[in-house]
A and B are shown apart, each in its own frame.
Chain A
Amino acid sequence: MTARLDRLRRMLTPRHALPTPGDAVEEDGAGEQQAERSGGAPDDRRGDRFAGAIAVVIAVATLLAAVAGLLQAEAAELAEDDRLAATRSALEAAASAQRGQQLAQVEYQSYIAAVEQATSAGNAQLRSMLADEGSGRHRQLLLEHERWQRLAEVSLAGSEIGRSEEYGPEQDPTFPRRYFAAAREESHRLNALQDAYNERANQIDERGAAYTAILAVLAVSVYLYVLSVAVSAAMLRRSFVAVASLMLAVAACWMGLTALQTAPDIREDAAAAYAAGRVASETAHDSAGYADARRHFDRAIELRPSFGPAYLGRADAIFLGASQQRGGLVSLVPVDALRAARADTTRARELGLATAQVEGRLGFYAFAEGIQTGDMSALEASLAATTRALRLDPAEPVYWLNLGLVHLALERPTDAQAAYTDAAKHALYVDGDRHQPRNEPWLEQTWLAGALTDLELLARHRPHLSGLVDGTKEWLVGRIGAGTMDQPEQSDARIEDVVVTIFPGQVQWQAQIPGYQPERDVISAQWYHRLPGAEGWAVMPEVSGRSGIAADPAGGYFQLSRYLGLTQPAACMPPGSYRLELYLNGQRVASQEVEPDFGVLEAALARDITMAYCRPADWQPIEEQVPGLLHGFTATDGYTGVYGLRFDLPRSFSEVPGLPELMLGSMMGSMTDLFPAVPVLVEEAGTTDGYFMGLSQTAWQWYDYGSGWVRAAAGLDEDGAVLIGIVYGPYAWFDSPVADAIHDSMVRHE
């Protein structure tokens, strides 16, 4: 009975409960009996086996820890190597950029020297024309002309920038942008390699961190194993062993998985493709140029799918390439392109490029997409991204303008007004500090033009917001457009009888403005343009603004704003519709639309003869160009063309009555080989004195060369030079508006 009770008590007593003294005696007695039955000390043997097993496991864990330590050291070294390589690439890129720029500048300087020498040759030739033919002075000047001509040829041959070379002024409308951009290609490549090394170092660092964690887990595991030997309670011992074994198993698996990871190769070809993309993008000025850049970025991404800057470059190429806007801040882009650009920019952000630029672009892309598709979540995303951009770069007026715009789109006018106030402050003052006026009207107008274009886009897609949009436009023109944060003054002036004229190279409005007081009233003209078939209007910052309003001698006021020569690359007024909005002290008082009919013309800048003009795109520069004297373009068959000439003359010549007419006659008589046949003055058409480039003593004449007309105009410049503009072509060609458009496009350009 007692034995049964003892057995029952042992069964009910938890195995880990500490034995009572009596129990110990009994247990000990039982142990002794058991030991005796088995012929030794069984607890000691069990303890030895357990300790032996733990020792083996600890040895395995220690071995694993040693391997982990080795792999961690290796990872740390590899990561350090890559970081050093990245730093070296960054330094080499800096050195390469400087070296490339210096070498390019040497070539550029040689090219400029050639131009100066060619100008000297032109000057000598011009002076020889004024000297008595056959005289010693005449011969001397002809020799001087030849000498400079030869020097210019030698200088040009010594420079890698030829006039018609790939990067020369004839092939690159943005000259010298492409030339200098190409000189930076190697530094872009090195910067791309720097990015690749950094990325790989980060990945290796992650492995190193994993090994550190594995080491820590193994250390704890070993500790728990050791502890399990030290404790006597069986349950605790088993718990420690269980946890330690679990940790050991986790550490072993984790280490295996980490060791299997491989670091990516450094793709030199991806870096080269990226560099080519950057150069193509920096020099692109049309859709074809951006498409070329996109192809390079595609290749770079294909070779290195985790290449953040390549995604960003491609996003830019897609966005800018899809827009037909070529001036100011680009806003009008089709939805497909916006989606693609947004996706690439988002990817760039995910890959670590969370800069203000990236956030700002994401904000605008999301706005433009959301407003065109009616996707409210895109507008909310735009708000979030723009806010992040402002957190990173709070001094950028464009982000503030975009913030105001998104608030308007989300119909939060109070928030919009606050953002626009900040935008105006940052546009007009450096860092928004009222003590530091920016005083850059051109830059301020560029921001204003961008904001007005965006508001126009908003009103088109949210017609019910038109009232708010109009009010915001007036507020912005009244501040940024007027160059002050102050409330515009009240005025009793009125703008009436507005006449708008679009020339190929400039725009003009004329109006009666009773009550106008220039010291009180600020008139700001905002010129909008819309391409044929397009829906969106974009403000042209080059011709918009408040400066240059003058009294018209015929009564009223006018503002003639030049476009030709103010864009990069130089361009003539693009085809399409134009709309003028006139603001008087922040109030829109007139609006008018016109559609000129001169078609597509391209710009020709001839600073050496102080002229610029427009001409058909397929015309080629003449071979007979003389710097400082003659500039021109002709059709490939030579039957149509345009010439500009400048004759620098002694001041005493200015006193000769009708000097421009005389020079025109003399030139037409002596330079007959510029035309398909000898031109003869059309006497019955007479000489008229219409407007020509703002010059005085103007003379317009018609000539007939048998199969076509020559329309020539001349005038006297304020420095005593005579400027001549000539357009010629078959009789029928003069029925088209092109001939007149070319003449109308001629402007003084220094």
Chain B
Amino acid sequence: MALLGVVIAVLIGLSSVLSAVVAWRASLSAIEAGRYESLAVQQQARRAQLERELEGIVAQDLRLATAYREHAAAARELQQQAHDVRADDPELADELDMEAAGRRSQARSLQPFFVGQLGVALRDDGTVDYDADRVLRWLREGELELRELRPDDTLELANVADRRTLGLIGVAAIFVGALLVLTLAQVVERRLGLRLAFTLLGGVLVGVGAVTFMALGVLAG
């Protein structure tokens, strides 16, 4: 009987301490979940910031490309007209040549201002060889920070921490249950059979709680 009393006392002490530790771990896990959730929002904002900056560069280039195309295409048209009239009206052709040269020079003056791509050219079909998707891909690849910002992954970490918190709360409940049963074992001093049963149940609950706690720790780690 004396030994049983000691066992009950040890189990009560063990489950008390373990329940305190589990409650603390659950609190840490809940804090971690909150931290990841906040971080995910911040990462999303940072990601959006970097994306908008890169898209802004491309948009700026595209505005320039439109102006460039106008000059370059006009130069081409003027040159063609000059060619067409040269035989009949050489003076007009010369005038058109000079206008074409002027528009070419206007187009050239825009070249240094492209930021995402080093210069552009007018294709035969009248479009500018500025592939916005490709430039954006280059810019994204060059922005290493962007590749590492994964708000979805961070949110998943928050979910994992949330699930762990719930698990730890469950483990704490097991320890509280064990405490209750062991307290009853302590109270029913004179009914040996019941006392033994409560002690056994309390011991099992402490064991299950401890194993579950360790398993959660391994999964988290």
Contacts and interface: CB of A to CB of B under 8 A. Distances in A.
Interface string A214-243: 011101100110010011110010011001
Interface in B102-117: 102, 104-106, 108-113, 115
A102 B19 CA distance: 56
A17 interface: yes
Contacts of A79: 31
A422 to B, nearest CB: 17
Contact of B64 (A112, A175, A217, A240): A112
Please classify how large the interface on chain A is, using the bins under 10, 10 to 19, 20 to 34, 35 or more. 35 or more
Contacts of A122: 105
Given A227-B12, A230-B187, A607-B111, A648 B102 contact: yes
Which of A187, A220, A236, A719 has its CB near the most chain B CB atoms (within 10 A)?
Answer: A220
B56 A608 contact: no
Given A98-B49, A224-B16, A650-B97, A18 B1 contact: yes
A112 B110 CA distance: 7
Nearest to B145: A357
B56 A105 contact: yes
Interface string A626-666: 01100000000000000000001111100000000000000
A86 B38 contact: yes
A252 interface: no
Contacts of A25: none
Nearest to A210: B24
B214 interface: no
Contacts of A227: 12, 183, 186
Which of A230, A628, A650 has its CB near the most chain B CB atoms (within 10 A)?
Answer: A650
Contacts of B147: 356, 393, 395-396
B105 A205 contact: no
Interface stretch (A26-34, A89-97, A322-330, A698-706): A89-97
A187 B46 CA distance: 10
A71 to B, nearest CB: 13
B36 to A, nearest CB: 11
Interface in B22-44: 23-24, 27-28, 31, 34-35, 38-39, 41-42
Contacts of A651: 82-83, 86, 93-94, 97
A153 interface: no
A478 to B, nearest CB: 24
A101 interface: yes
A693 to B, nearest CB: 16
B208 interface: no
Contact of A219 (B20, B106, B115, B119): B20
A149 to B, nearest CB: 15
B121 to A, nearest CB: 8
Interface stretch (A113-121, A291-299, A410-418, A528-536): A113-121
Interface of A: 14, 16-18, 79-80, 83, 86-87, 90-91, 93-94, 97-98, 101-102, 105, 108-109, 112, 115-116, 119-120, 122-123, 126-127, 130, 169, 175-176, 180, 184, 187, 191, 194, 198, 201-202, 205, 208-209, 212-213, 215-217, 219-220, 223-224, 227, 230-233, 236, 239-240, 243, 355-357, 392-393, 395-396, 440, 443, 566, 605, 607-608, 610, 627-628, 648-652, 719-721, 750
Interface of B: 1-2, 5-6, 9, 12-13, 16-17, 19-21, 23-24, 27-28, 31, 34-35, 38-39, 41-42, 45-46, 48-49, 52-53, 56, 60, 63-64, 67, 82-83, 86, 90, 93-95, 97-98, 101-102, 104-106, 108-113, 115, 118-119, 138, 144-145, 147-148, 179, 183, 186-187, 189
27 contacts: A16-B2, A83-B34, A83-B38, A90-B45, A94-B46, A94-B52, A102-B56, A116-B67, A116-B106, A127-B98, A202-B35, A205-B34, A209-B27, A212-B27, A213-B20, A216-B21, A219-B20, A223-B179, A224-B16, A230-B187, A608-B105, A628-B105, A628-B108, A650-B82, A650-B93, A652-B90, A750-B119
Given A90-B45, A102-B56, 12 more contacts: A79-B31, A97-B52, A119-B109, A127-B102, A194-B42, A205-B34, A209-B27, A209-B31, A236-B6, A239-B13, A240-B9, A649-B98
